[in-house]
Amino acid sequence: MRLSIPESIAPYELLTPATDAAGRTGLYVSLANAQRAIIVFHVAQGNSGTVLITPLQASDMEGTGSKVLTNNCPIWANLDTATVDYPSRRTDAKNYTTDAGTKNKIVVFQIDPEMLDVANGFQSIGISTGASSASNLTSALVFLEQRYAQVVPPAASDLD
């Protein structure tokens, strides 16, 4: 079977492109009908202030009870997209901090629904950034690997 985006892996915006000197938290999506979530975080780092990136879990898409992940997740990072083609594997963790280089960067988190605090009803994920610099432009998409491919995947508001 051929992979089809968005039929098999539907993209949703978690963090709209913006500068965020004070840090910010994006939207949440439910993993109730997903096999896996891949968060792709992008930063155009115009200032040497590092950026802390933290995937979050919540009990619903409103962010109720939001907290850091229960378990470490696989992480990949490309800290200079102008010279490196592909993100390299990093140490599994609950968050990631970029280096101070003023480069364009991509950080990827792989989150399986079982990694969440399912015993306490956590089934949604989001992302936040820590305080950094107004010169750092950040954004994030999440790609949800659907349990069943659909020609038209559900709207983000229909995921719960």
**What CATH number corresponds to the domain at position 19?**
2.60.120.380
Does 160 fall in a domain? Answer: no
Residue 147 binned pLDDT confidence (cut-offs 50, 70, 90): confident
Give 22-41 pLDDT, tens digit per residue.
Answer: 999 999 999 988 999 999 99
Does 3 fall in a domain? Answer: no
Most confident of 34-38, 74-78, 81-85: 74-78
Residue 12 corresponds to which tokens in the numbers above? 């949703």
Does 1 fall in a domain? Answer: no
pLDDT at 43 exceeding the cut of 60: yes
Does 94 fall in a domain? Answer: yes
pLDDT at 10: 83
Which of 136, 50, 134, 52 is closest to 100 using CA atoms?
Answer: 50
pLDDT at 47 exceeding the cut of 60: yes
Does 152 fall in a domain? Answer: no
Domain count, the chain: 1
Does 4 fall in a domain? Answer: no
Does 39 fall in a domain? Answer: yes
pLDDT at 91: 98
Give 89-140 pLDDT, tens digit per residue.
Answer: 999 999 999 999 999 999 999 999 999 999 999 999 999 999 999 999 999 9
Contact by Cβ (8 Å): 106, 41: yes
pTM of the model: 0.90
Does 51 fall in a domain? Answer: yes
pLDDT at 13: 95
pLDDT at 158 exceeding the cut of 70: no
The boundaries of the domain holding residue 73 are 9-147
